[in-house]
């Protein structure tokens, strides 16, 4: 419940602090005194968009702060799901800065507006005539049915399973799409893969092939020059080896005379040996030069095929082609893998769907079973509220798809008159009837679940006399189990409050300001007497007010 509301620099309010308590709290005041300002400030605290024009003095910031006692409510998981620090004594603060920016805090930790809006429904439920239209929504009506039917446990299980079901459905759709894409590309990928495999890329050394081609294309010139070089090195008369051997003999005669000559002889000896090796290699190379056209054609074809593949796949090396070949092989293998994954996911989805169907059947059955009870309770309360012929009819049909709360399509039909065909609430119920239906529903719900603080903004519009007393009695009963705030102009309802707050305006320093105060018993008598008979309070009005308060 809300324990304190602090408002600074908002609309006609300079600085006020309002204390709230458990039970039924009545708020009264003349039209225009500022009751709507109070609700506007509370709305900002609960995450409504800020209207900076409502800031009283634009040079300083506007502050709205509320303290909430949450010990009786298990809201720790709600706070955790919104990533907000939980405290049984929670303080929410909203600031509208002079710069035009807005800031929000929960327990002194900054939060986003979305986070604030996430916890708001669990703290305060405000019902103005505009909000009363929610009673006509299927979502609200289904939540009412489920609360009375005690479906929370089944719904929690259903919603957990539904999340898993949707995850599997999304995964299955993704896998099927991927499979369709892969199937479209399979033939082309297989063609590319086979083409690369036939090239036997792992057995190809591109550099060696290119060197071999160069040799084959110039075999005659190479052979001719090899033979000429071999002849110059090894000719019997003028060959380099023969000349060097003669020089070696001459140095050999001198090597014993000096270490210098010995070193020269050794170096020359090494040159002769190296040259003889070169001569042998020249002979071997000239003998091994192949000049067959078939071999030239074979090497040329291999290289042309390799160049074609490299150009086709926009790469520069055999290694890159082999990598592409491996990737294509993996893509082809994916087809079989996807079929297996699709089968497994589809089986899991069907299994979860069976669980969901079992749960939706349980929900459907319990909703239908509880409706006669709900119908009887609502019609009894509406009878007290001046709608003796009010009647409800429920239609509950199973949809062909899962919704967040099952598979049921709900229509709550209503008629306020005998002989009239029941219709949808939003079409056949007047504003005053919707207000009374909302009160009846909340009164019934209060007996089945812990409701957040409820604020009724003139829910008594259009009622008076005995009906007003009946409505006051219902509000008083609700207030015995929860925190309830009712803004009213009816003395019958005002007299039933456990606490009574009055909103009023005064001129201070040539400026009009709104104030709020808690009334004493005598002040309540005067206030209710004024509500009964106007500003001139008579003794009979005071007597009547005292009777109402008793």
pLDDT, tens only, 233-288: 776 666 777 777 777 877 887 788 888 888 988 888 888 888 888 878 877 776 66
The contacts of residue 277 (CB under 8 Å, 6+ apart) are none
Distance CA(176)–CA(154), nearest Å, equals 32
Give the orientation angle of helix 206-217 with respect to helix 219-234, to 10 degrees: 80
Confidence of residue 215 (pLDDT cuts 50, 70, 90): low
pLDDT at 187: 67
- Write the pLDDT tens digit of every residue in 425-465: 888 888 788 888 888 988 888 888 778 899 998 888 777 78
| Stronger pLDDT, 143 or 313, i.e. the higher one | 143
Provide CATH 3.40.50.300 ranges for the chain.
1-123+452-519
Asked whether the predicted pLDDT for residue 502 surpasses 70, the reply is yes
| 506 has pLDDT over 70 | yes
Per-residue pLDDT at 238 = 67
Q: 148: which residues sit within 8 A by CB, 6+ positions away?
A: 370, 373, 374, 444, 445, 448
In the predicted structure, residue 414 carries a pLDDT above the cut 70: yes
> Is residue 376 over pLDDT 80?
yes
Paired strand residues for 396: 410
pLDDT for residue 64: 94
Q: Rounded to the nearest 10 degrees, what angle do helices 431-445 and 318-384 cross at?
A: 100
Max CA-CA distance within the chain? 159
What average pLDDT score do residues 532-541 get? 84
pLDDT at 163 over 90: yes
Q: If you average pLDDT over every residue of the chain, what do you get?
A: 85
Q: Estimate to the nearest angstrom the gap between the alpha carbon of 182 and the chain centroid.
A: 30
Confidence at residue 519, expressed as pLDDT on a 0 to 100 scale: 94
The mean-pLDDT minimum among 216-230, 316-330, 426-440 falls in: 216-230
d(CA 114, CA 105) in angstroms, rounded, equals 12
Tens-digit pLDDT profile for residues 103-131: 999 999 999 999 999 999 889 988 876 66
Distance, in Å, from the CA atom of 362 to the CA atom of 433, rounded to the nearest integer, reads: 32
Q: Is 394's pLDDT higher than 80?
A: yes
Report which secondary-structure segment, H or E, holds 503: strand 499-508
3-state secondary structure of 238: coil
Angle between helices 293-312 and 318-384 (to 10 degrees): 20
DSSP labels for 18-58? EE--SSEEEEE--TTSSHHHHHHHHHHHTTPPP-GGGBS-T
Give percent helix, percent strand, percent coil of the chain, each to the nearest 5.
60, 20, 25
In this structure, the number of other CB atoms found within 10 A of the CB of residue 13 comes to 23
- pLDDT for 68 beyond 80: yes
Tally the C-alpha atoms within 13 A of residue 47's C-alpha that lie toward its C-beta. 17
Q: What is the pLDDT of residue 460?
A: 80
| Helix and strand counts by DSSP (H, E) for the chain | 17, 15
- The pairing of strands 124-127 and 109-111 is unpaired
In terms of residues, how long is the chain?
550
Question: Do 93 and 107 contact (CB within 8 A), yes or no?
Answer: no
CB atoms within 10 A of CB 196: 20
Residue 135 scores a pLDDT above 70: yes
Q: Give the orientation angle of helix 206-217 with respect to helix 293-312, to 10 degrees.
A: 140
Whether the full predicted model's pTM is greater than 0.85, yes or no, is no
pLDDT at 521: 93
Architecture category of domain 1-123+452-519 in CATH: 3-Layer(aba) Sandwich (3.40)
pLDDT digits (tens, 9 = 90+) for 399-409: 999 998 999 99
pLDDT at 345 over 90: yes
Closest listed residue to residue 391, CA positions, set 370, 372, 404, 365: 372
Is the model's pLDDT at 3 over the cut of 80? yes
pLDDT confidence of residue 232: 67
Q: Specify whether the CB–CB gap between 217 and 209 falls below 8 A.
A: no
pLDDT digits (tens, 9 = 90+) for 166-191: 999 999 999 988 888 777 766 676 67
Q: Which helix (H) or strand (E) holds 142?
A: helix 138-149
Which residues is 406 bridged to in the sheet? 403
Contact 47, 524 (CB under 8 A): no
Segment holding 514, helix H or strand E: strand 511-518
Cβ-contact 108, 85 below 8 angstroms = no
Question: What is the rounded end-to-end Cα distance, in angstroms, of the chain?
Answer: 27
Residue 130's closest CA among 429, 394, 434? 434
Residue 215's Cβ-side half-sphere holds a number of Cα atoms within 13 Å equal to 17
Of 34-48, 195-209, 534-548, the poorest mean pLDDT is in 195-209
H helix or E strand, kind and range, residue 400 = strand 391-403
- Give the confidence band of 347 by pLDDT, cuts at 50, 70, 90: very high
């Amino acid at each position: 419940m809300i324990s304190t509301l602090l408002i600074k620099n908002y609309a006609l309010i300079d600085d006020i602090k309002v204390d709230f308590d458990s039970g039924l709290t009545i708020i009264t005041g003349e039209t225009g005194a500022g009751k709507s300002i109070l609700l506007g400030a509370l709305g900002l605290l609960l995450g409504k968009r800020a209207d900076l024009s409502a800031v009283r003095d634009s040079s300083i910031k506007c502050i709205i702060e509320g303290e909430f006692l949450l010990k009786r409510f298990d809201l720790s998981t709600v706070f955790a799901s919104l990533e907000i620090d939980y405290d049984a004594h929670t303080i929410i603060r909203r600031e509208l800065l002079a710069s035009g920016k807005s800031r929000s805090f929960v327990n002194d930790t900054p939060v986003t507006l979305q986070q604030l809006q996430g916890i708001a429904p669990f703290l305060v439920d405000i019902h103005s005539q505009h909000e009363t239209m929610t009673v006509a929504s299927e979502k609200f009506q289904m939540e009412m049915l489920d609360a009375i039917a005690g479906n929370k446990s089944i719904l929690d299980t259903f919603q957990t399973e539904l999340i898993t079901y949707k995850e599997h459905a999304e995964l299955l759709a993704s896998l099927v799409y991927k499979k369709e894409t892969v199937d479209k590309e399979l033939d082309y990928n297989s063609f590319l893969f086979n083409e690369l495999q036939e090239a036997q890329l792992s057995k190809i050394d591109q550099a060696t092939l290119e060197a071999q081609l160069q040799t084959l294309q110039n075999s005659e010139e190479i052979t001719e020059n090899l033979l000429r070089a071999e002849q110059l090195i090894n000719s019997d008369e003028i060959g380099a080896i023969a000349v060097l051997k003669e020089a070696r003999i001459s140095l050999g005669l001198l090597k014993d005379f000096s270490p210098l000559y010995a070193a020269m002889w050794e170096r020359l000896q090494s040159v002769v040996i190296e040259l003889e090796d070169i001569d042998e290699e020249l002979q071997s190379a000239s003998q091994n030069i192949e000049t067959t056209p078939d071999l030239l054609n074979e090497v040329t074809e291999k290289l042309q095929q390799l160049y074609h593949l490299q150009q086709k796949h926009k790469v520069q090396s055999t290694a890159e082609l082999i990598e592409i070949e491996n990737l294509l092989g993996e893509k082809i293998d994916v087809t079989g893998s996807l079929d297996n994954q699709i089968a497994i996911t589809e089986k899991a989805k069907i299994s979860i769907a069976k669980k969901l169907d079992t749960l939706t059947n349980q929900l459907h059955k319990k909703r239908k079973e509880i409706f006669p009870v709900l119908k009887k309770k609502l019609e009894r309360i509406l009878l007290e509220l001046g709608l003796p012929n009010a009647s409800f009819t429920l239609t509950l049909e199973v949809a062909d798809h899962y919704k967040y709360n099952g598979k049921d399509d709900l229509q709550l039909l209503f008629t306020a008159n005998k002989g009239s065909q029941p219709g949808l609430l939003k079409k056949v119920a007047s504003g005053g009837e919707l207000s009374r239906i909302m009160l009846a529903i909340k009164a019934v719900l209060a007996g089945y679940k812990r409701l957040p603080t409820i604020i009724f903004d003139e829910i008594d519009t259009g009622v008076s006399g005995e009906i007003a007393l009946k409505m006051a009695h219902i509000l008083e009963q609700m207030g015995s189990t929860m925190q309830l705030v009712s803004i009213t102009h009816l003395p019958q309802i005002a007299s039933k409050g456990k606490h009574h707050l009055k909103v009023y305006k005064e001129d201070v320093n040539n400026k009009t300001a709104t104030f709020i105060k808690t009334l004493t018993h005598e002040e309540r008598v005067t206030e209710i007497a004024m509500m009964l008979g106007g500003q001139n309070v008579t003794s009979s009005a005071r007597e009547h007010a005292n009777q109402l308060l008793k």
